[in-house]
Every structure is written in structure tokens, then in C-alpha cells.
Amino acid sequence: MGIAVFWLVATAIIFFVACVGLFLLQIFLSRKERRWLGLILPTISLLISMIPVFGYAAFTETSSSSVQSVDGVFIYEAHAPSAAQPIESAPALIVVVLTVFILYNIPTVVFLSIYFACRGKRNRIKAVEKMSVQDL
């Protein structure tokens, strides 16, 4: 019991330090003169968030059936589900994929918020410097 708690606490501390480090790195990159540097982490986060979205969509089958007419006789054919994933309806699959996309993009939104906050402050400072130069 004691070793499990130790590893849980150690993992939580490492995760917390990594998150703080990424946020500080985002602030550092956003304050740089080149604006594209601040968009590196949000882009990486967006690309990483696409992996579970495409994975879930690719490995989940939607329910499907077909009706065929052979010499005036209609034949209804339903496709059996695979053992890997249950069959879901298309609207349910869309809702799940959108939910996964939104949840996995929370870090992207946080990184972009940091970026726009730092860039806004930088733009205000530049405007004040420009006005002071014009006053001279």
C-alpha cells in the first residue's frame, strides 16, 4: 500500500511540474519577437488531439443495412458487428467524436489564451513606444 501511494504522489508531482514547465515555455515563446514561435505548442497540441479523434472514428463501425431488389423481391441485409467495437449510429459517433475533440483540445485553448494574452501585452507596449517616438 505504501509503495503504491508513493508512486501515485510521485507521478502527480511529475505531471504537475511538466504542466507548469509547458505553461512557462509557452509564455517564454509567446513573448519572443517572432510571433510564430508562440504558436508551436498550440499546433503540437492540436495535432496530438487529432490522434484519438481519428482513432475512435476509424475503429468504430456505424450501423448499416442495405435493401436490394432482385427480380422485384426486396432483400434486407444487416451487417453484423465486429468483436472490436460495438456498432453505433452515425449521429452518436459524431457526438462522441466531437466530445473527444473538445476535451483533448483544452490544452490547445489554454496555450492559445496564453499566446494572445502575451501578444496583446506586447502590442500595447509597442504602441506606447511608437507614440513616445512620435511625440519626440
What pLDDT is stored for residue 96 in this prediction?
A: 86
Q: What angle do CA 71, 76, 79 make, to 5 degrees?
A: 135
Q: What is the pLDDT of residue 91?
A: 82
Give 49-62 pLDDT, tens digit per residue.
Answer: 999 988 887 777 66
Highest mean pLDDT, choosing among 31-35, 105-109, 126-130? 105-109
pLDDT of residue 110: 96
Q: What are phi and psi of 120, to 5 degrees?
A: -65, -45
User: How far, in Å, CA of 41 to CA of 46, rounded?
Assistant: 8
- Reported in sequence order, the residue ranges of 46-112 that DSSP labels E, i.e. its strands, are 65-70, 73-78
Alpha-carbon gap, residue 57 to 45, rounded angstroms? 19
State residue 65's pLDDT score: 58
Q: Of all residues in the chain, what percent carry a pLDDT higher than 70?
A: 77
**Does the pLDDT at position 45 exceed 80?**
yes
Mean pLDDT across the chain = 83
- Categorize the per-residue pLDDT at 124 as very low, low, confident or very high, splitting at 50, 70 and 90: confident
Q: Which DSSP symbol is given to 86?
A: -
Per-residue pLDDT tens over the stretch 73-119: 666 655 555 555 555 677 888 888 899 999 999 999 999 999 999 98
